[in-house]
Structure 1
Amino acid sequence: MLRKALVASGLILSLQLTLSAQQRDAFIPFINAQHRWVDSVFNTLSARDKVAQLFMVRAHSDLGQRYIDSVAGVIQREQLGGIVLFQGGPVRHAQVINRYQRLSKVPLLVAFDGEWGLGMRLADSTISFPYQMALGAIQNEALIYQMGLEVARDFKRLGMNVNFAPVVDINNNPRNPVINFRSFGEDKQNVTRKGLAYMRGMMDGGLLTTLKHFPGHGDTDVDSHYDLPRLTFTAGRLDSLEMYPFRELIKAGAPGVMVAHMNIPSLDKTPNLPSSLSHHIITNVLKKRFGFQGLTFTDAMDMRGVVKHFRNGEADVRAIIAGNDVLELSENSGRAINLVLQAIKQGRLSQQDIDTRVKKILAAKYWLGLDNQQQRTVNLTNLYRDINRPQTEALNQRLADASVTLLKSDSLIKALDYTKRTAVICIGLTQISEFQNMLGWRFDNNMFYVLSPQATADDVAAVANELSSYSQVIVALHDNRIRPRSTLNYNGTVRLFINELANMNSVFCLFANPYSLAGLPGIEQAKTILVCYQNDDIMQRAAAKVILKRLNPTGRLPVTVNSFFRYGDGK
């Protein structure tokens, strides 16, 4: 069934290029089978060591030596099952991974949130692929499969073996503060296709991946990092929409699922109970009804969404009782292990249940090749070069090119004359952009203008008063914040100027979240709008290629913005 899905989505050509990856044993049957190495390791573990395999601790390499040493102490003392890496530098990460692996009697799972690759946490000296919202616009899933392979190659080179990705939440709430641009979009079929491509690429590259955030975090306006979201949808709605990508990708062999912290009365009526602690949601729905036999991970157990109502380690115990295999970032792993051992004595948990989960975790480590010392030791030689490969940078640009979405007509682009006086206005920045530089060499008679998000009326008037002398106007709207939010941080004066520009036959390029179009009244009057999803150089180069008539935009809008800009719009 998986092969049929891959053929249908155009991925078979890429799969043929990865014969060795295809020969890897299928993950789900593998971790549920008996293995001599697993048994040999399991038989060396004490009761406490077994429980410790269910926990992963937070690790950074940018918080100083004292912090690094403190995590080393936890790993050596508690002998936990894995670590989750956050911010730092590639070489420093590799060094701490090597150190922590040496301290562990059992090889560690080394996880990372790499939804858009290493750049999600390691912004310096690593490549960031486009956010999933941009990928949702791409019509060629083979590119996303290839991205998955490259992400896996980066992870393995850095000594990491678990990627908490892809996000398969369906983002149908523009106000969503935590998923939003991290989602492939609002259409369940599109999200499933893109999630399949990304998941298979990473798995074929040798990574353990997780679908997140079950049963679906896309339609909430509460961030579970800070509070407990409450979903009031019917079980039927959740089954047919939010849970659809999870169900289909589980059929396709998903190795891991991460469970969100959300209260969902239609699935479990227990007051204030997060989904991550619900036996019905995890064991009855995810494992029994959906037939999931891989590894179930909790979202971070130090988030307010889970510890607000279950404090002092009770959340950890309940998460294991509910059916989770791996707990990510307990507030206090030593305390949690003691409480789980106590729960076994009290009969709240059975030792057999713990043993079954531990063997699955060990089998996952065996599948990853962690029985081999070389597989868990990072070679520091040429590390920067190896994770900044020219072919990866080229793929990154191809992904950006394929995501550009043309709304309305391309008539203004076709009519552009490189010899005429052309104004190129960038709004939302404070200096000349890559986009302007790309256009500058081709338009013979151009002038660049830059307006900050909070430009004054005098600043705007100075630009507006000069536009009458130009035959052509190209406008770029930028969101210069770290993450593209649903609304732009432009003041009223700037927004009014955008409205005026939309009525001047200007070509618009949006380097921002597509939802932000809804906060620009009058933008729908523009004849040509290129949606480029985020403000970085690869997107600006892609847009410039379209303006210079070197690229035909093929992306389609992955979300509905308003009545003017709807899902699927694009040339």
Structure 2
Amino acid sequence: MGTVLDFLCLQAFKKIMMKNMYWLLMVFAFAKANSQQTLNPLVTIDQDAQKHWVDSVYSSLSQEERIGQLFMVDLFSNKEAAHVNKVRKLVEQQKIGGIIFSKGGPLQQAHLTNELQSKSKTPLMIAMDAEWGLAMRLDSVYAFPWNMTLGAARTSTSSYEVGKRIGEHCKRLGVHINFAPDVDINTNPDNPIIGNRSFGENKENVTQKSYAFMNGMQSTGTLACAKHFPGHGDTDQDSHKTLPTVDFTAARIDSIELYPYRRLINHGLASVMVAHLNIPSLESRSGYPTSISKKVVTDLLIDKLKFEGLIFTDALNMKGASNFSKPGDIDLAAFKAGNDVLLISEDIPTAIAKINAAIKTGEITKERLEVSVRKILMAKYKVGLHQYVPIDTEHLVADLHTEEDDMVYESAMEQAITLLKNEKKILPIKNLETKRIAYVHLGDDSGAVFLKELNKYANVDQIITDDLNTMLEMLSDYNTVIIGAHRSNETPWKSYKLTAKELNWLTEISKKHRVIFDAFVNPYMLSQLKATAPMEAILMSYQNSDWSQQISAQMIFGARAIKGRLPVSAGKFDVGDGLQLDGISRLSYGDTPASVGMKAAILAKIDSVARYTIENKGAPGMQILVARKGKVIFDKTYGGHTYGKDDPVSSTDLYDIASVTKILATLPLVMELVDRKVISLNEPLSKLNAKLAHTNKSDIKLKEMLSHYARLQAWIPFYKYTLDSLDSTPLKEYYSTTRSDIYPIEVADHFYASTMVKDTIFNRIANSELLDKLNYKYSDLPYYILKNYLESHYKKNLDELTQDHFYQSMGMTHTTYLPLKKFPKNKIAPTENDQTFRRQQIRGYVHDQGAAMQGGIGGHAGLFSTANDVAKMMQMYLQKGFYGGKTYFKSETFDKFNHRYFAGDQVRRGIGLDKPALDSVGNTCNCTSDSSFGHSGFTGAFTWADPKEELVYVFLSNRVYPDADNRFLISKNIRTNIQQIIYDSIIQ
């Protein structure tokens, strides 16, 4: 059987003479190109089958129907019936070749596509202008970063991935060709129509990114289309409104504007769109659009650049073209110039008639028509229209907004964001304990996501006022100011410029404060910055999307590295500028589960377990967080503070974490002292406290005590000794309803204890009997002893010590003892309605009675926190003492504590850290590694970290509301069942 080339040669030879040899050669060239290349190298096209289908379709068409294949009409799926009916008629009566969809929604478009395909004699080629995804035209679909943003990356990986995902979206919606990438080299900051749509001003960078984008998209079977030929990047007019002039020499255009076309054409570019431009150096006729210029389309694109793919006009209803001639005339001129597809003609019936008449008079040969029609049909075969299948609309919207899309967007923004200035190494922000940080908003769009993300790392206060002097006065209490410039992310054409007022504010604030300026705008904004605005740091974040705001905030605090470089020159900054900055191992947020090798669909099962727990009153609400490889990939809240519906849990609400206090407060302070060799794990208790020197606890070693292998009592009900033996009411010698010098210790609301209570507690511990037999017995008593030691050693209370040594520098802004001194009551989840001791609902006061009797500050309980803050400490442990650029203790010190010293005696515990059970039944899901560790708390708290899987899990709840006898979480294994789901989601 002959090849496509053989067939076309034979047919062409019979039909044409030497004067038509040019078009014969075009037939040869395109046939050869299509016999050797496929759109997707992973898919092989059966050349014989393709030839047979093209021949069959072509021969079935009349001359008017063949001309109809040249036309692609625009269709808005959100417009009125009359508009849609007009397109229906063009499909049925004029037998047009394709449709370019514009504004509307995905479901409406899918239904219209299915309908019109069923009405069309020849399958329609469906196109869209979707440079940054279908969202460029449609609602309810995903918007990817603009080209300018992608152009800021140092590699082309994100351009490929974005192109690939856009191609997959197109395929899902039945779109065969996407008019992208825009390969214009934007060398004019005042360009009103390209700007953000360009990858930048450097021809090499634009070419690399365009090539990657094209490959990504065409790997999915979606045709790419490079535009706007021969180059729209250095114009200051919009061809939608007029005919812009590009007044450069042919040599300059050849060197700059045509540079990316050469590489893309040589590597399988499917199509090119020709712009409506006035370029005197290429077309001598004054005001003659390039789109209808034979010198540009045929002589330059086809002959000189050897392009053999489809050639599209830009929309013929644009003023750059429609102003030139009447409908029909412009179409004829465009076809004669060498274009294959005439896009958005203003009068298709008239245009078809004029082209048909030109063929009949010999002005256009039939062979010329055959070239374009066969090219169109071969492209239709390539995209699968020979085996057309209607669009499946089930799950369509969900399929166009997936976790993979988020992962691609996240990665693209992480590669793009650019650091341009970093005096005195102000970034990343370290030593949080010394920082008072304010945020000032500039611009016309929201910075709420940015501010919320900043507050995951430190207390960042937004300062709001309309008066500059008032602003400067309000900022006087802060030593670091973050200024965010937020311009609308709605379209790439929005103005990027700051107002004169905003520029003045930026300058004046910078004169008096250390300023980090973060611009969520087009990088050309940088040309507005004055030398008199001495900001210490300048970040270019390019777009004001949620992802950009989140990732940029994380970079400010060192949770992510900064890698980008400027894709254009602006002001004092040159193209390619950009400082690279490593991260400092803080948690990052918003990452997709897939980015760390986990399945979101499996993690979603946590929702069902949480709802089941709340419905069965296992707990009113909860916070659940999962982090892997330093990235928080699951962070949700459920339910309310109570079982009502008016107090939903937020991520910044505080929970009483009960015994988790042990590993978040006491234990890190002990680790620090062991690391500094102030004490050792073999230290006897007599050395820690002289009052224990002559007791039965004198020789117990720290290692034994913290392993719960020291014969200590599990607990002592201290509070019971302070109640009346007859009616269990608090004895007046110990308690009062009013504070005084005699009763200074606040136990609960209007409930104060005398100073003798603390001494009584320690004396009871010192004099308590040891258990008869040495075996594993979990006990709270070690942490009373250690609290006493730590406060004595440092001459500060445990609340101050934890803040000074860990919480402030780690950004644990919502972790504290005595939360009512810092937070409103409605931000704290209530615990038990205590009717045995304090006779009141407990909210904002520690639930544990022993800690309460110590004024709310216990070594074993008393801490309130959020899942986010607990995760920070667990991540620091996972990193063996390092977090946020600071080493708190050496890795070998942590290893000493994360070790079972008495495993041979069936003691599962490490030093203070809980460890997985030694047998098959235990405190975890039995899926954790032996190196894992964590702790649980009586109120419903649970946290676990696994070095092997680089995993952190936090579960906080108030399961003791309103009754501490509620054992639903425990009996139903809720916390460990969720842990099992987390491990099940890990991709093996």
Matched position secondary structure for 1:218: coil
Distance 1:237 1:367, change over 3 A: same
Q: Report what 2:432 is aligned to.
A: 418
2:119 paired with 1:103: yes
The partner residue of 1:317 within 323, 329, 332 is 332
Counterpart Cα distance in 1 of 2:156 and 2:530: 34
Q: Report what 1:358 is aligned to.
A: 373
Residues 354-393 of structure 1: pairs in structure 2 closer than 5 A? 354-374=369-389, 377-393=390-406
Deviation string for 1:193-222 (max 9, x for gaps)? Answer: 000000001111101110000000000101
Q: CA deviation at 1:498?
A: 1.0
Larger radius of gyration: 2
Q: CA deviation at 1:545?
A: 1.4
Letter in 2 for 1:395: V
Q: CA deviation at 1:551?
A: 1.0
Matched position secondary structure for 1:413: coil
Letter in 1 for 2:550: R
Counterpart Cα distance in 2 of 1:128 and 1:298: 26
Q: Report what 1:440 is aligned to.
A: 455
Counterpart Cα distance in 1 of 2:402 and 2:112: 23
> Relative CO higher for 1 or 2, CA cutoff 8 Å, sep ≥ 6?
1
Q: Report what 1:542 is aligned to.
A: 551
Letter in 2 for 1:88: G
Q: CA deviation at 1:490?
A: 4.0
Contact 2:508–2:533 (CA<8 Å) still a contact in 1? no
Counterpart Cα distance in 2 of 1:523 and 1:481: 29
Matched position secondary structure for 2:428: helix
Counterpart Cα distance in 2 of 1:450 and 1:469: 14
Letter in 1 for 2:402: R
Matched position secondary structure for 1:510: strand
Q: CA deviation at 1:186?
A: 0.4
| Segment of structure 1 superposing worse, 407-416 or 550-559 | 407-416
Letter in 1 for 2:554: K
Letter in 1 for 2:428: K
Distance 1:20 1:212, change over 3 A: closer
Contact 2:214–2:269 (CA<8 Å) still a contact in 1? yes
Contact 1:52–1:81 (CA<8 Å) still a contact in 2? yes
Contact 1:52–1:337 (CA<8 Å) still a contact in 2? yes
Q: Report what 1:249 is aligned to.
A: 264
Distance 1:448 1:36, change over 3 A: same
**Structure 1: runs of 5 or more not aligned:** 1-18, 452-457
Q: CA deviation at 1:526?
A: 1.8
Q: CA deviation at 1:308?
A: 1.2
Q: Report what 1:498 is aligned to.
A: 506
Deviation string for 1:30-89 (max 9, x for gaps)? Answer: 79x970000001111011000010000000111133322222222212110000011111
Q: Report what 2:521 is aligned to.
A: 512
2:299 paired with 1:269: no
Counterpart Cα distance in 2 of 1:347 and 1:93: 40
Contact 1:485–1:516 (CA<8 Å) still a contact in 2? no
Q: CA deviation at 1:97?
A: 0.7
Q: Report what 2:576 is aligned to.
A: 568
Q: CA deviation at 1:119?
A: 1.3
Letter in 1 for 2:408: L
2:53 paired with 1:37: yes
Q: CA deviation at 1:485?
A: 5.2
The partner residue of 1:468 within 467, 472, 476 is 476
Matched position secondary structure for 1:414: coil
**Structure 2: runs of 5 or more not aligned:** 1-37, 580-988
Matched position secondary structure for 2:356: helix
Distance 1:473 1:57, change over 3 A: same
Letter in 1 for 2:42: Q
Contact 2:429–2:558 (CA<8 Å) still a contact in 1? no
The partner residue of 1:137 within 134, 147, 152 is 152
Counterpart Cα distance in 2 of 1:486 and 1:100: 35
2:154 paired with 1:154: no
Contact 1:486–1:514 (CA<8 Å) still a contact in 2? no
Counterpart Cα distance in 2 of 1:165 and 1:261: 17
Q: Report what 1:531 is aligned to.
A: 540
Q: Report what 1:454 is aligned to.
A: none
Counterpart Cα distance in 1 of 2:228 and 2:47: 24
Distance 1:189 1:421, change over 3 A: same
Provide the aligned C-alpha RMSD in A.
2.0
Contact 2:191–2:234 (CA<8 Å) still a contact in 1? yes
Contact 1:276–1:299 (CA<8 Å) still a contact in 2? yes
Distance 1:147 1:30, change over 3 A: farther
Letter in 2 for 1:386: D
Deviation string for 1:542-571 (max 9, x for gaps)? Answer: 101101211111111000012x11100001
Counterpart Cα distance in 2 of 1:378 and 1:117: 18
2:87 paired with 1:74: no
Contact 1:487–1:519 (CA<8 Å) still a contact in 2? no
Residues 83-232 of structure 1: pairs in structure 2 closer than 5 A? 83-122=99-138, 124-232=139-247
Counterpart Cα distance in 2 of 1:430 and 1:141: 30
Contact 2:153–2:415 (CA<8 Å) still a contact in 1? yes
Q: Report what 1:9 is aligned to.
A: none
Q: CA deviation at 1:489?
A: 5.1
Matched position secondary structure for 1:172: coil
Matched position secondary structure for 2:74: strand
Contact 2:415–2:564 (CA<8 Å) still a contact in 1? yes
Q: CA deviation at 1:272?
A: 1.4
Letter in 2 for 1:412: I
Q: Percent identity?
A: 38
The partner residue of 2:76 within 60, 74, 95 is 60
TM-score with structure 1 setting the length: 0.91
